[in-house]
Amino acid sequence: MNFAVVRGELEIVNRLLQNEEAYQTESKEKIMRRALIDASKVGFVDIVKRLLTVKDIDVNGTDSSQRTPLMHASENGHDDVRYSQPTIHNNNNLPI
């Protein structure tokens, strides 16, 4: 999955997501979190939008440095990715 994401291969991502029931629940969550972070980091808006359609994907999931997909998009100047993601609230219930 991640190889297709970082290369911007939306069709391959779509095919892999069609077979998402093949993933075990725990590994699916990790795979989807990593894919969303990577797509946000490199700025592939179409892939981010597609991943956001996956049931129960955690848009607030963090990587090993505790950064979310939204943080990666912001850090790398991908405003188009930032605006494609739903509004996320911090602990004070204020939009980020």
CA-based R_g, the chain, Å: 13
Q: CB neighbours (10 Å) of residue 96?
A: 12
| pTM, 2 dp | 0.75
- Tens of pLDDT, residue by residue over 50-88, are 998 888 888 899 999 999 998 999 898 888 887 776 654
Beta carbons of 86 and 73 less than 8 angstroms apart: no
What residue ranges define each of the domains in the chain, with the CATH number in brackets? 2-84 (1.25.40.20)
- Tens of pLDDT, residue by residue over 1-30, are 888 999 999 999 988 888 766 666 668 888
